[in-house]
Amino acid sequence: MDGHHVPTKLSLPFWSPTEAICLIDITQKFADTMIIEWVEPKFDLLFNYLQRGYERSQQETSEEIMALLLKLIALLMLQVGVSLAGFQLNFVRHFKREGEDILLSCGFEGCSDQCAELTWMHRRHVSEDDLLTEQISFEGKVNQSLPRASRMSLTSNCSLLIRNLHVEDAGLYGWRNVEFVDILSISSSPSDVAERVDLKCSLNSYNEIGNCHPVRIIWVDETGTELSGKNAEFEVNLQDNCVSILTVKRQSGNKKFTCKVVEDNKVMIDAVYILTE
């Protein structure tokens, strides 16, 4: 199954009076801020608010999380006097395999004319408690000081193209759109048990390390049967929602195992590993 994305769009903001009261302390910080300042230098603050929204919404569904984030962004924009007429906010979550390419859309028709004013940002977890925010582009050009700059480029309409995805490319991207990139990787290593091998499947995302709610990882064999627990042939060890290790017995001939990322019984993306002799 190919990786895909889950979009949610909100043309106009809707929130209850209670929600507005809860968020007013946040939005007051933006009361005297011009929109260009909000879009670029204030992006780190926006990322912080998005992170708080995730931390408070770990038990909610994907749709509820998306709606919460979109309401927050809409309220922030209203506080700085930005008209939302004809303005569409997008929240997109992409699932990709390591080594694939991804195109993050600029998001509106005027991107080509305003590319020099657009700044792409990226935030990701570098440890359980530490977040790293990087400026990907400035004045229509990719930031060449980044080690991964050679894999990045801006299209004619200022969309961001990232080639040959690495696990460190996972995270939150944005300027007007909010795009989350989840990268699935699979690898093998010798097991501590003789004649066995460990297959490690990892989903790298923006969420806290070890927290991939609401998705989960499962393993299936060549027949499509889900593998769980332990028997003479294999053992499944779910380290957390984001990492699962399948320990299998080496056998004659090749054998195929598939790691799947599942949400509400729907496969979002999968990766196949062929175990050779």
Of 113, 248, 268, nearest to 182 by C-alpha is 268
CATH number reported for the structural domain that contains residue 204 in this entry: 2.60.40.10
pLDDT in tens, 211-246: 777 888 999 999 999 999 988 889 999 877 689 999
Q: Judge contact between 241 and 217, C-beta under 8 A.
A: yes
Asked if residue 162 belongs to a domain, the reply is no
217 part of a folded domain: yes
What's the confidence (pLDDT) of residue 112?
A: 74
The answer to whether residue 190 is domain-embedded is yes
Does a structural domain hold residue 219?
yes
- Number of domains comprising the chain: 1
Judge whether 46 lies within some domain: no
Give residue 265's domain range: 185-275
Check the CA dihedral 179-132-114-30 and report its sign: positive
Choice among 69-73, 118-122, 143-147, 262-266 with the minimum mean pLDDT: 69-73
Neighbour-count burial of 265, counting CB atoms closer than 10 A to its CB (0-12 exposed, 13-18 middle, 19+ buried) = exposed
pTM to 2 decimal places: 0.66
Q: Is residue 271 included in any domain, yes or no?
A: yes
Inside any domain, residue 154:
no
Residue 107 lies in a domain: no
pLDDT tens per residue, range 57-95:
444 455 555 555 555 555 554 444 444 444 455 668 899
